Structure 1
Amino acid sequence: MNKMREYERGREDGLDLARRIVKQGGIEALEQECKFRGVTGIHTSLAVKDLDKASEKIKEVIADSFVILSIAVLHDDFGFGEKRCQRFRNGLDRAADYINDGLAEWIDYVDAIKEELGIVLKNPGE
């Protein structure tokens, strides 16, 4: 009986979330939400809009940590100096801008790295 209540509660929460999404952004917003969840495999009681807001700080910390570790490794293990580390950081910013502006997708980078370097990487979100 307890599992049935959990199922019903989950179903009601899902319907409530769908109602809020449609109310705020129309049926198109609900369709985008469904597509997002199908592509990313992220299933949560938060709408994409709410999820983005809640995860913004996490994204910033991860991005900052990645840059710090990358520059440290380039300097410590490969002898990169200030100029080459700055060029690396500028390249990261440029690549991120391409993705954010819709000029490239993660899979473009994953495929190019595999083809040009023979390194197989996982597409984020898979």
Structure 2
Amino acid sequence: MAKMNEYMAGREDGLQLALSIVKERGIEGLEEEIRFRNITGVHTMYAKKDLEKATMRIKEMTVDTFTVLSVATLRDEFDFGKKRCKRFIDRMNLKAECLLADMVTWQDFIDNIEEEMGIKLQIRRND
């Protein structure tokens, strides 16, 4: 019986989400939302724009934490000073912005590093 109540609550949540999308963006907005969910396999009670907002915050936090780790390593292990660390941060932020703007992909970076430096890198996936 509890599973049936959860199922019904989920359906009601879905109908509420669909209604809010239609009110805000019309039938076309709902159709776009359905296409997005079918393509990505994302099934959640949040609309695409809410997911994009949440994932942007996650991406920004990831870049921030990676920057802290990188600068600490450059300083501790390679004696980088303030000027070189600042230059590194500025350049890394530029590359991150290029990724976010779809001007370059992770695979582009990976291929370029392997081609120019002979270092094979990969990004582990959580598929």
The verdict on a shared fold, with TM-score over 0.5 as the criterion, is yes
Residue 14 of structure 1 corresponds to 14
Q: 2:73 maps to which residue?
A: 73
CA gap of 1:20–1:69, structure 2 versus 1, over 3 A, is same
CA distance in 2, matches of 1:42, 1:76: 41
Gaps of 5+ in 2: none
Relative to the length of structure 2, the TM-score reads 0.70
Whether 1:35 and 2:40 are equivalent positions in the alignment is: no
Q: Which has the larger radius of gyration?
A: 2
Q: Does 1:104 align with 2:104?
A: yes
Q: Is 16-25 or 47-56 further displaced after alignment?
A: 47-56
Give me the identity figure in percent: 44
**CA 1:28–1:103 in 2, change beyond 3 Å: closer, same or farther?**
farther
Secondary structure at 1:122's aligned position in 2? coil
* 2-structure distance, mates of 1:57, 1:70: 20
**Cα distance in 1 for residues equivalent to 2:37 and 2:99:** 16
Inter-partner Cα distance in structure 1 for 2:21 and 2:50: 10
Alpha-carbon distance in structure 1 between the residues aligned to 2:18 and 2:111: 35
TM-score by structure 1 length? 0.70
Return the structure number with greater relative CO, CA threshold 8 A, min gap 6: 1
Quick check: 2:21–2:29 contact (8 Å CA) kept in 1? yes
Q: Quote the Cα distance in structure 2 between the aligned partners of 1:97 and 1:117.
A: 24
Task: State the alpha-carbon separation in 2 of the partners of residues 42 and 112 from structure 1.
Answer: 31
* d(CA) in 1 for partners of 2:33, 2:108: 22
Alpha carbons 2:37, 2:43 under 8 Å: kept:
no
